Amino acid sequence: MRHGSKGFTLVELMAVLAILAVLAALVYPSYTQQVVKARRIEAQLALLDIMQRQEQYRALHHSYLAFSIDTEDADTGQFPTWTGNSAAASAHELDGYACPGQEIAHCIELRARPGTANVDAGFADPDCGDLTLDSTGRQTASGPSARCWP
């Protein structure tokens, strides 16, 4: 060993890299879970906001208004079709349609679908899948988890 040499040996650098790799392997799954939860909450808030707008629309027009990303109508433009600032930055695509077995004038079901072709297709929420909220207040999810809505 030379005296007065500065720097790190290769063994020291490899030890640090091994420690960092172990830490990353432990932390990354927790980080990705938190990202999914944050995106899910973003979708829930968007559904609640749109439902409030739909109730205001119904008060004026005596009917709810179905909408989707494919709908090109002046009225439907007031309802966002994704959760983020742009489609590419969004994890969920949003749409609204008549509740099953009912007319749109009486009941609307809003849906947030994760990772569609129109938004970030790389995003997935295997625990909850599609989130839905209808005008009766019913909140559901298509995934296996029972903890999708607060």
In a domain, 147, yes or no: no
Residues of the chain short of pLDDT 50, as ranges, are none
Collapsing DSSP to helix, strand or coil, 78 comes out as helix
pLDDT at 1: 54
Contact 95, 69 (CB under 8 A): yes
What is the per-residue pLDDT for 61? 96
| Structural domain harbouring 69 | 10-141
Length of the chain: 150
CA 57, 98, 113: angle at the middle one, nearest 5?
95
Q: Is residue 100 part of a domain?
A: yes
Find the angle CA(126)-CA(129)-CA(131) to the nearest 5 degrees: 150
State how beta strands 139-141 and 131-134 pair: antiparallel
Number of domains in the chain: 1
- 146 inside domain: no
Between CA 144 and CA 123 the distance in angstroms is 17
What confidence score (pLDDT) does residue 145 get?
Answer: 95
Of 104, 103, 105, 125, the C-alpha closest to 114 is 125
* pTM to 2 decimal places: 0.84
Which one-letter DSSP state was computed for residue 86?
Answer: S
Give 4-42 pLDDT, tens digit per residue: 678 888 998 999 999 999 988 888 889 999 999 999 999
